[in-house]
């Protein structure tokens, strides 16, 4: 059965061809840049021209640790560097649109973090600015490129489980939100800053739902102000459904982070190893049971990479391919508007207690 996995592994490959590579500058020197972006780019063979952060000392420390040759004194200095064709914007969500506008005006291609924008209208504005400037925008929805998720999606697309009927994520963990000061005080938390990963991954397999329902809550004694426990149901045409059940206040140590895709001819199931021992994590697992192949029971797929840092190379590689060859990145800003509409609908459902159609008027 090993040979049958060859096209699946190829679909999940994160290699960035030499002819696609362009110099990258990074705005932001926070923890995610330190532990994920820079290691992933180094593994992919990308040149990082330099870093800029409002905390110049932090930028210098991170640059020295990763051998980045330059620390820019200002954002304007970074944007004036003609060698830096691509800018990775890794700042807090509230600051991201302003940086993106400046970078697009300077003629840069962009990788933005999720959430791409605070609302759909701002996202549409940025997509329009990029189109007018002839620049590309990708969103760092890197879970799509996690090997377990990417391999599962490839199995679905090859018809291994027949027509998909359901997709679920079950995440029951403890998250120390105090590691991010600004997250502790935000009114909106779990869906927009965590389950956004799962919701975008579901969209990459099933597309956009026609109806959603969501409920969210807090738990006694939690530090964070916003919701930390959510249940999101996505309704698709016919009998297809998706569910994300996430809680971040598991205080018993028996964490779980699993996903499953069911189909008419089988099923795929896996775990997200990163969340069992965050941020170090452990390898993902993935298995497929298929009557279409057939597999004679559950067949393990040999996952060799991790969500962080490895999958971070995926959105950047997709962006660089679009820059080199034309077309749009897989996680383009235009595509990510669908994820923003989904977040908006889920929060409106949470607030109203009613089901909501994504994209419908508030």
Helices (H), ranges, the chain: 6-11, 31-32, 38-44, 56-66, 75-79, 96-105, 120-133, 147-157, 181-184, 190, 196-206, 313-325, 333-352
pLDDT at 280: 80
pLDDT at 1: 52
CA 27, CA 72: separation in Å to the nearest integer?
A: 9
* Contact call for residues 324 and 317 (beta carbons, < 8 A): no
- Rounded mean pLDDT for each run of 10 residues along the chain, 362 residues in total: 87 97 97 96 98 98 98 98 97 95 98 96 98 98 98 98 98 90 93 98 98 96 95 97 97 95 98 90 94 95 94 98 97 98 98 95 78
Tell me the whole-structure pTM to 2 decimals: 0.96
CA 191, CA 161: separation in Å to the nearest integer?
A: 29
CA 30, CA 43: separation in Å to the nearest integer?
A: 19
pLDDT at 70: 98
* Contact call for residues 63 and 50 (beta carbons, < 8 A): yes
Distance, C-alpha 147 to centroid of its chain: 13
Sign of torsion over alpha carbons 97, 102, 107, 113: negative
* Contact call for residues 192 and 343 (beta carbons, < 8 A): yes
pLDDT at 2: 66
Question: Of 212, 208, 200, 229, whose CA–CA distance to 315 is shortest?
Answer: 200
Q: How far is CA 288 from CA 160, 165, 181, 282, 359, in A?
A: 8, 15, 40, 20, 34
pLDDT at 206: 98
Burial (CB count within 10 angstroms: exposed 0-12, middle 13-18, buried 19+), residue 319: buried
pLDDT at 282: 87
Q: What torsion do the CA atoms of 299, 302, 305, 306 make, to the nearest 10 degrees? A: 30
In order, the DSSP letters of 259-279 are EEEEETTEEEEEE-GGGGSTT
pLDDT at 178: 84
Q: How far is CA 58 from CA 28, 51, 135, in A?
A: 9, 10, 30
């Amino acid at each position: 059965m090993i040979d049958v996995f060859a096209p699946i592994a190829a679909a999940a490959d994160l290699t960035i061809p030499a002819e696609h590579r362009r110099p990258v500058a990074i705005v932001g020197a926070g923890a995610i840049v330190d532990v994920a972006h820079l290691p992933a780019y180094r593994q992919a063979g990308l040149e990082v021209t330099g870093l800029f952060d409002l905390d110049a000392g932090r930028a210098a420390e991170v640059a020295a640790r990763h051998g980045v040759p330059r620390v820019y004194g200002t954002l304007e200095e970074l944007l004036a560097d003609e060698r830096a064709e691509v800018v990775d914007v890794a700042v807090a969500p509230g600051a991201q649109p302003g940086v993106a506008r400046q970078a697009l005006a300077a003629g840069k291609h962009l990788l933005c973090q999720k959430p791409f924008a605070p609302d759909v209208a701002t996202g549409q504005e940025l997509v329009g600015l990029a189109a007018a400037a002839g620049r590309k925008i990708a969103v760092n929805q890197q879970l799509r490129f996690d090997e377990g998720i990417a391999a599962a999606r490839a199995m679905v697309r090859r018809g291994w489980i027949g027509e998909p009927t359901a997709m679920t994520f079950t995440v029951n963990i403890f998250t120390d939100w105090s590691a991010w000061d600004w997250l502790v005080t935000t009114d909106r938390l779990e869906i927009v800053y965590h389950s956004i990963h799962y919701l975008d991954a579901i969209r990459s397999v099933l597309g956009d739902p026609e109806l959603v329902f969501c409920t969210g809550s807090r738990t006694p004694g939690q530090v964070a102000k916003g919701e930390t426990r959510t249940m999101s149901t996505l309704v698709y045409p016919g009998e297809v459904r998706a569910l994300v059940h996430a809680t971040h206040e598991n205080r018993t140590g028996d964490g779980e982070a699993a996903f499953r895709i069911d189909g008419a001819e089988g099923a795929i199931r896996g775990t997200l190893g990163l969340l069992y021992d965050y941020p170090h994590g452990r390898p993902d697992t993935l298995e497929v049971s298929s009557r279409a192949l057939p597999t004679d029971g559950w067949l393990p797929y040999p996952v060799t990479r991790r969500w962080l840092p490895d999958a971070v190379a995926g959105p950047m590689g997709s962006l660089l391919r679009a820059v080199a060859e034309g077309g749009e990145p897989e996680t383009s800003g235009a595509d990510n508007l669908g994820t923003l509409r989904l977040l908006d609908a889920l929060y409106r459902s949470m607030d109203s207690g009613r089901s909501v159609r994504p994209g419908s008027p508030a």
